[in-house]
Structure 1
Amino acid sequence: MQINSGFRKFSSVLLLIIVVLFAACTSDNSGQLLRNAGTVLLSAQRPPDTTLKIPWKDGDERSVYIIPANTFFSRGNILLLHGWNLRPLGWCEQTSLCQKLRDAGFNIIIPDMGKSMYATQTYDETLPTMAEQPLRSWITDTVIVYLRDSFKLFTKEANNFIVGLSTGARGAFAIGLDVPEVFDGAVVLSGDYDQTLMTDDNLMTYFYGSYEDYPERWEGENNLLRNADKWTLPIYIGHAQQDRVVPWEQSDSLNKTLLKIGKVKPVSHFPKGFGHDYTYWESESDNIIDFIRKICDKDLTSEK
């Protein structure tokens, strides 16, 4: 099946390809490239953000937004996952995170996941409107593969991170479990990872059926906390304690579980005085940048 790229202008294509080709810079030379880049390009001089149309199923296509780094050479790539039914670009529009990531040299890739639950499959009991949404395999098997083959994004040599909020945090952890070889680290904010801790949750019930009738669906491969022993990536876990949408205990349980397993040492932050909104997510912007930079700098040092 052919991909309809939907590029706005031919010149934008040429400029974008030049930028993203440098996303494949290896960790042992990216620091030197950034030091030698000279004056960074101003955002006004950059090509417009590019929207790709990538097939999902049955002829349906979903948008994937590519927002290039503001530096001449890219330091890596960020797969940014939005929350359930939130605007794909909302995180960029309502916080400073995307601007800071771009200024730090990262390309941002945002797939439109709509109302996805980032599950492995749908069921007869899944609400039809939810069954129409992409599964997480669309990202791992189609989006990442296409972007790697066509634009040299998410190559093994690049610094690649996955960042998600709310249901997107659930997706980030799930994808990090599925394809850890693609990423160097993950950031998850305000996410849920063990649906058995909230069996009255409507979204989970609409997707999996009731816990009483289908406990194996709630406790099996789509229960991320119960698969946490497979987690191997550096991870930043954030959650506001006054969250009234997703209990912060979800992230606290994930943090404690990973610490107990002992394969990784999570960085966690559970502040008071915030809820489940962009005010809290904005407050984490600098923490996210610092977390990602430390991993990149550590990789750069280890290669010397």
Structure 2
Amino acid sequence: MPHHREPGFIFCAYLKLLLLFFIDPILILVFVICHPTYSSSFLLSHQAFWHCSIVTIISFLIVFQPKTSEANPDDLHKIFYFFLMIYLSIFCHADESILKYIKKKVQKMSHIIIGLFGMILSVWMMIGCIVSKEFDFYRTTAGCIYMLCICSLTFFYLVFSSFETDYYISLPSANQPFSGIKLYVVTFGLFHLMVGIAVINLTSAWPISLHLLASSFVFCADAYSCLFTETYIFYDHRPLMIDDVENNSANEIVCHVVVRRMYEKMKNPEDLPKIFKFDDEVEDYLYLKA
């Protein structure tokens, strides 16, 4: 049954959204564009991608300004505007042009891992383009590689995401990288911090570079946790019910999955759920269930 909220509750909810919009409009944009269950799993990676892609596109012409007044800025400007038209025309219709070829009804852990590593590579190549431009590397070449990296970042995000799937993957809370203090998260954090200090001294576009590094940190943490997780959970994408807030936030567990290659190494296999499927057999099970 739909849950009717008091006017005061609705007012506070809209006020909270308004405040969040002024603090971080991209955060609200993600929740508006994406179905709640599309972004609920690996939320920080979703947020990192959207912040990263929007900021890099908006700031492109500023980052790749010519260092000398004699240089002609129009060459790269024309390429960028052409790129932007192609980029928007392709990825705004990704459900027809890309997702139907790479996505199935059941999200795969391999897709998540490949997508995360692809985004990491794309982000680091963009940082390299920014730094190389500061050292008088060919500005047009660096800018073109940067634009290609924006495309690859978006493509690998689509591979990583659960768009156009019926069932999506989430890690148990104990295996999520930012639930508690994890050694590998601290290690990634220190590494990115040291690189960030170096980048500040290397480029005048250090705010963009730090933004990319922060995204890389999130992608690395999620990629490591997915690569070495022993178990994960499949959830069912729920239909969006505007009048039923509680059901929108409730996730329906479809099945628990155990990674077979990690099963023999488990110290406490008795802690596993009573009913589970191995990762190499779960896809057939979910297709039959669907």
Whether TM-score is above 0.5 comes out as: no
TM class, shorter-chain normalised?
under 0.3
Q: Which has the higher contact order (CA 8 A, sep 6+)?
A: 2
Higher Cα radius of gyration? 2
TM-score by length of 2: 0.24
What TM-score comes out, normalization by structure 1 length?
0.24
| Larger helix fraction of residues | 2
Q: Which has the higher strand share?
A: 1
